[in-house]
A = this chain, B = another copy of it.
Amino acid sequence: MKKEGLLVVLSGPSGVGKGTICDHLLDKYSDLEYSISMTTRSPRAGEIHGEDYYFVSKSEFQEMIADDEFLEWAEVFGNYYGTPRKFVNSKLREGKSVVLEIDIQGALQVKQRCPNGVFIFLLPPSLDELHKRIRKRGTEQDKDMQTRLTAAKNEIKTVHQYDYAVVNNNIGDTADLIYSVIKAEKCSVSRVGQKLVKEVIDNE
């Protein structure tokens, strides 16, 4: 029997390493897929429609909002970004698990529409370490840094809305731990119990 995949939402404060962990996961485990976002911003050099993003017009995007076709969406500096349901659902039906790497606000939107997803919060080992990671990227001024750390602190307090909290100490271990969570969730009784009982007993 074909098993449906899981929607795996990976979230956490900016700078914690969500993207790196996702890349590592997707490289290592072939039963996982990235969710591809849709945006109204223009493609940058080298970006491919349907790989990096789905690039659409504002009116198309707004129509899709009206039709409730997004798992989540947001407007950032005049551009829309969102996760179209359709792509995710078709992959799930194929038995792939879809990983959605997303900020806290987006994750909580997805949770309202897909309470069945697996919600994982990625934590830094400490705020100090998060500070270092953001500095290493070198994109922040000191003032912005304080704002980001305060934001991170508040975001971390939303962890109780997630199913799992994983400390990102080390890329390889963290990715493996997240994959363990996916494997475990696939045999949780609330997801598969009844179906399995039926299968075992009917296979007599």
A residues whose Cβ falls under 8 Å from a Cβ of B: 121, 123-128, 153, 156-157, 159-160, 162-167, 177, 179-181, 183-185, 187-189, 192-194, 196-197, 199-201, 203-204
Closest B residue, CB atoms, query A192: B165
Known contacts A167-B200, A184-B184; 20 additional CB pairs below 8 A are: A123-B197, A125-B200, A126-B199, A127-B201, A127-B204, A156-B200, A156-B201, A159-B189, A159-B193, A159-B196, A160-B194, A162-B193, A163-B188, A164-B188, A164-B189, A165-B189, A166-B187, A180-B181, A181-B184, A183-B184
CA distance in complex: A126, B201 (Å): 6
Interface of A is mostly: helix
Copies of the protein in its oligomer: 2
Residues in chain B near residue A160, CB distance under 8 A:
189, 193-194
Residues in chain B near residue A184, CB distance under 8 A:
164, 177, 180-181, 183-185
Residues in chain B near residue A188, CB distance under 8 A:
163-164
Query: Do A123 and B166 form a contact, CB below 8 Å, given A159-B193, A184-B185, A194-B160?
Result: no
Closest B residue, CB atoms, query A126: B203
Residues in chain B near residue A181, CB distance under 8 A:
180, 183-184, 187
What are 20 A-B interface contacts by the 8 Å CB criterion?
A: A123-B196, A125-B200, A127-B200, A127-B203, A128-B203, A156-B197, A156-B200, A157-B197, A159-B193, A160-B193, A165-B189, A177-B183, A177-B187, A180-B180, A180-B183, A181-B183, A181-B187, A183-B184, A184-B184, A184-B185
